[in-house]
Chains A and B, each alone.
Chain A
């Protein structure tokens, strides 16, 4: 089966920063693939590369960038415009990047549809109202006439989701769609996304730094560190048997209610995520890794466990840490 989205060896350089360093990932129809990692590790830049929306001055290279079986890496701006908002849609990390403060919710939502489909204004308004109701907004008519700043954060996020769905996309890329929201609203939005996916068969690439969200919504997870995917696996397997020292470390940092005793130290990873320069070789995690050896400074291949689990490290699968007694 061909994946809905397939990215192979994506590299993005912005000025002197190697923002993405060889990311590969695939999203199937009806699947939620989570891209997780700490701030600055290249999640948003990866997403923007797929959409053809990189900041000026970025250089992108890929071995393959396929959408629904078609190579889109060579597409020009006009061809991308034809796909964006239409067959592939994105919810941005900052809602105000995709909502224009000067136009009402209704005019922005209908604009998206009318750009890609030959529909009347009235039909577009109907579709917008229907989708607002679909994302759980109680008074769609009222909201269509309002400006983005008149909405609460939770409502704005729902509007963004509804707007992304106007043209019935096959792929939805959601960049931290709930980070700015209260936990109660976050749960509502995530449930909504899961429901829509089930009903519409959407493929979702969900970007987050929150391992709790990953555990609850992902079918598959890719863990990013310093511009590359260091581990990728089906969700249950990643949490049950993480292999990369960074993944293992990250999982011990998260306080889990009822699991970690109060005042007992949490696991932690010393140091911070480095900013990468082009031309770096070896493991980018080595300065923070408790398992580092000389081999980590050289080149080494990605390891595979079964047919679905990969990690990028010099350690053998199933390694037992020196610290774990």
Chain B
């Protein structure tokens, strides 16, 4: 469906998030005399997230997950490509309209909450930034958001330092919800939390999605967490999505050797299984030095000669998307 489709069309609705040919480069200089190097953090990424669903994004450190999140939130401008939210180009929207549509929740709630402000005022910030919300309306909506995320009334006057990590993450989620957005971009929202608190926050996010019909882009390096919450999963490697599939399918029958290595490295709490050999060797990917051919080939356990010279074309089929010379097309 085209980007100019009108609101009157009942179905199929525009995807909540649509990303087309998204690319972002950085120039990095390591030391005064070194020549600047180009890092392609996100490299020609396209996908659509249907409203009400959860796209999980996984991949190793430095593969571009946070850059993708920041591009989708318009916190960073793409080098090329477009982000459409609800069928409209994000770049054409004004800041306030954007804030009403899409909101972030980041990994470290401590770094993302202003330590000088009380919980109540932190959650009210997006409303204040809208500029036209009456003050009793504001109080009501802050109270409503706090209740939704399970914060008690007496926490309204506290400062972030007086809260636990899980409570701080609840504040960040309340702030993200106060404008009643349709989409929430979560970048490692539970990575800094203990497992008992992580479970509380994951349950809360799942409940909010169901009750409010939210759409999530959910980034995590923890595959078990992603499997638990995401309906669809995208696997990133050095800036590209190398595989994308419905969650069940990806976990049961992944088609890319990198996805399989990632899945093999998940250590489930099942005694007696030992630690598997993921077969990736000790070469680490370097985003400033992307290998020719298939970018995964130096680590790939099943690579053949042409993987080193020829970049695999994306196979987009009934099972999703995969970029590997040895992957078979489905149906």
Contact = CB atoms under 8 A, between A and B. Distances in A.
A272 B265 contact: no
A187 B269 contact: no
Interface stretch (A63-71, A159-167, A255-263, A292-300): A255-263
B265 A239 contact: no
A250 B275 CA distance: 21
A254 B195 contact: yes
Contacts of A251: 269
A269 B283 CA distance: 40
A186 B206 CA distance: 29
Contacts of A268: 196, 199-200, 203
Interface string B182-217: 000000000000111111101100110010000000
B253 interface: no
Most chain A CB atoms below 10 A, which of B60, B210, B269: B269
A303 interface: no
A263 B267 contact: no
Interface residues of A, number: 54
Nearest to A273: B194
A138 interface: yes
B284 interface: yes
Interface in A218-240: 235-236, 239-240
A230 to B, nearest CB: 14
Contacts of A190: 267, 275
A262 B228 contact: yes
A257 B223 CA distance: 8
A258 B139 CA distance: 43
A267 interface: yes
A17 interface: no
B203 A215 contact: no
Contacts of B266: 183, 212, 257
Interface string B26-66: 00000000000000000000000000000000001100000
B267 A182 contact: no
Interface string A292-322: 0000000000000000000000000000000
B282 A137 contact: yes
Contacts of A259: 268
A212 B196 contact: no
Given A182-B60, A260-B228, A262-B228, A39 B196 contact: no
A13 to B, nearest CB: 23
B321 to A, nearest CB: 21
Given A187-B264, A262-B231, A209 B195 contact: yes
A184 B223 contact: no
Contacts of B274: 194, 216-217
B164 A272 contact: yes
Nearest to B201: A268
B227 A216 contact: no
Interface residues of B, number: 50
Given A211-B195, A272-B166, A272-B197, A257 B206 contact: no
A266 B60 contact: no
Contacts of A185: 284
A236 B271 contact: yes
A213 B225 CA distance: 16
Contacts of B100: none
Contact of A186 (B224, B265, B282): B265
B196 A249 contact: yes
A184 B278 contact: yes
A191 B81 CA distance: 42
B331 interface: no
A263 B230 CA distance: 9
A253 B197 CA distance: 9
Contact of B194 (A209, A239, A252, A258): A209
Interface in B241-257: 247, 251
Interface in A168-203: 182-188, 190-191, 194
Most chain B CB atoms below 10 A, which of A186, A252, A253, A260: A253
A255 B200 contact: no
B280 interface: yes
B278 to A, nearest CB: 5
Contacts of B91: none
Given A184-B278, A262-B247, A256 B271 contact: no
Interface string A123-165: 0000000000000111000000000000011110000000000
A184 B271 CA distance: 19
Contacts of A99: none
A207 interface: no
26 contacts: A136-B282, A137-B282, A154-B284, A155-B284, A184-B262, A187-B265, A187-B276, A212-B224, A213-B267, A215-B270, A239-B270, A251-B269, A255-B225, A256-B224, A257-B224, A257-B266, A259-B268, A263-B210, A266-B199, A266-B202, A267-B199, A268-B199, A268-B203, A272-B194, A272-B196, A273-B194
Given A191-B277, A209-B195, A217-B274, 13 more contacts: A183-B60, A183-B265, A188-B282, A212-B266, A212-B268, A216-B273, A216-B275, A255-B202, A256-B224, A262-B229, A265-B207, A266-B199, A267-B199
The 7 closest A-B pairs by CB, nearest first: A212-B267, A253-B199, A268-B199, A38-B194, A255-B228, A269-B196, A183-B265
